Amino acid sequence: MPCFILIARALRDEGTSYHYLPPADWAEGDAALLARLDGAFEGLAQPVLTGAVWTTDAPFRETQAAIDAARSAGALAVEMEAAALYAFARARGRAVACLAHVTNQMGQVEGDFEKGAEMGARDALDLVARVAARLAP
C-alpha cells in the first residue's frame, strides 16, 4: 500500500550530498521545520510516516547486504534525493522538508508500481495542501 514519508533524516550513501557537507552518515532535516509539520497529516487517505530514508543513486543495483544495513540503521525506504536536498539546505542556511511518496517495493510483487487514484496525484496534492496550510505565515 502506498504511503508518504516525512523525511527526518537521510542516510548518505553516494552522490551529491558530499558536495555540500563533510562526510557523515546522515543528512538531517531541519528540526524546527519538521516540528511545525507534526500532526499536520491526520485523516489523509494515505498514511504519512515520519522517519529516516536511505539516499542512494541507484537503488536497483544495491545488494541484499546493503539493503539490510540501511534497514537496520532505521531506513523506512530508499530514494535518490533527500540527502542532497538536506545537505544543500544546511550548507546554505535554509529550512527544507522532504517528503517521499512510497509507491513500490522495488518491483518485487505484482502491481507493485500502483500509485492509487489518478496515479497518486490527488493524494500528493492533499499532502502538499496540508504542508502549505501548516507553514503559511
Q: What global pTM score does this model have?
A: 0.87
Q: Assign domain 3-135 to its CATH architecture.
A: 3-Layer(aba) Sandwich (3.40)
**pLDDT tens digit sequence for 59-80:** 667 788 888 999 999 999 989 8
**pLDDT tens digit sequence for 23-39:** 999 999 999 999 999 99
**Which three-class secondary structure string do you get for 98-131?**
EEEEECCCCCCCCCCCCCCHHHHHHHHHHHHHHH
Q: Is 12 helix (H, G, I), strand (E, B) or coil?
A: strand
Residue 45 and residue 70 in contact, taking contact as beta carbons nearer than 8 Å: no
